[in-house]
């Protein structure tokens, strides 16, 4: 698959590294694709990963992953341009300063992204897993679960396959509106990691027979 990872931070580069190692073609969409920092990141990853400006990075992409801070999500989507019918995996979390949710209960970041990216097929996913675990490693001998939600069946299928390839246990969590539940869950994971000092080596798991 051709994947555009929007954002050259922990999530964007973590996914670029993991998916490119599996043979996918990954472009990192960046505000400064020619900067020394991004050039060093890209050459450090290897595997044919390249960097491009936001709009060009998505030109040939089958899947676009949004991996920017919440405060930059709308501007990034606007800079990309028309996203109708495109598959977007929204990995963002609508966090405000002080480890709080910026929005929630009656809407969610996932729904807001779908509104900004009019006509796109948005799947909320990968928002509750620490970027340091994107190599899909197991914890306690078991896969980490990645709940995903979205309204487009085909987009969810594509996201499921890509995320499962990373080594995760994908859990279909229904419609995009359920981002309202997945985003607070991300906050809980971060608070456990940071405030309770459990560190990066924690993951969410749905145990079932
Ligand atoms: N870190 C995690 O463990 C984790 C896990 C799951 C989900 N998330 C979510 O995923 C998203 C990305 O997280 P991250 O940890 O990868 O973030 P990050 O390390 O801070 O990187 C975000 C990237 O977004 C781009 N960006 C675009 N506009 C920006 C702006 N105004 N300010 C700063 N960066 C901007 C930057 O790339 P360019 O400079 O190249 O444009 C930057 O490198 C967030 O919404 C976060 O809540 C994070």
- Tell me: the pLDDT tens digits for 114-135? 999 999 999 999 999 999 999 9
CA of 191 to the centre of ligand 1 (A): 18
Domains of the chain by residue range: 2-194
Stretches in the chain below the pLDDT threshold 70: none
99-108 as b/e, with b when 16 or more CB fall inside 10 Å?
eebebbeeeb
Residue 12 in contact with ligand 1 by CB distance below 6 A: yes
For atom 29 of ligand 1, the residue with the nearest CA is: 72
- Ligand 1 atom closest to Cα of residue 51: 40
Length of the chain: 209
Q: Is the dihedral of CA 78, 27, 101, 85 positive or negative?
A: positive
CATH tag, 2-194: 3.40.50.720
Q: What is the pLDDT of residue 194?
A: 85
Please compute Rg for the chain using Cα positions.
16
The pLDDT, as a whole number, for residue 209 is 87
- Ligand 1 centre from 144 Cα, in Å? 22
Q: Please work out whether the CB of residue 92 comes within 6 Å of at least one atom of ligand 1.
A: yes
Q: How many CB atoms lie within 10 A of CB 177?
A: 15
How confident is the model at residue 34, as a pLDDT? Answer: 98
- DSSP-derived letter for residue 86 is -
- The tokens for 163 are 């995320």
Q: Is the CB of 127 under 6 A from ligand 1?
A: yes
Mutate which of 67, 88, 168 for ligand 1 pocket (most atoms within 8 A of beta carbon): 67
Q: Which two tokens stand for residue 165?
A: 């390839």
- Is 68 near ligand 1, meaning CB less than 6 Å away? yes
- How much is the pLDDT for 198? 81
Q: Is 72 in the pocket of ligand 1 (CB under 6 A)?
A: yes
């Amino acid at each position: 698959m051709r994947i555009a990872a929007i954002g050259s931070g922990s999530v964007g580069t973590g996914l670029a590294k993991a998916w490119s190692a599996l043979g996918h073609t990954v472009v990192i969409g960046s505000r400064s694709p020619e900067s020394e920092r991004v050039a060093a990141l890209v050459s450090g990853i290897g595997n044919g990963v390249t960097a491009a400006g936001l709009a060009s990075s998505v030109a040939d992409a089958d899947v676009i992953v949004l991996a920017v801070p919440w405060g930059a999500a709308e501007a990034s989507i606007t800079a990309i341009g028309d996203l109708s019918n495109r598959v977007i995996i929204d990995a963002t979390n609508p966090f405000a300063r002080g480890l709080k949710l910026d929005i929630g209960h009656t809407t969610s970041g996932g729904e807001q992204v779908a509104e900004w990216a009019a006509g796109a097929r948005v799947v909320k996913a990968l928002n509750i897993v620490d970027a340091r675990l994107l190599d899909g490693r197991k914890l306690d001998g078991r896969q980490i679960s990645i709940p995903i939600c979205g309204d487009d069946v085909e987009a969810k299928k594509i996201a499921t396959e890509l995320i499962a390839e990373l080594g995760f246990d994908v859990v279909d969590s229904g419609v995009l509106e359920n981002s309202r539940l997945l985003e607070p869950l991300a906050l809980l994971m971060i608070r456990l990691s940071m405030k309770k000092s459990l560190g990066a080596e924690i993951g969410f798991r749905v145990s079932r027979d």
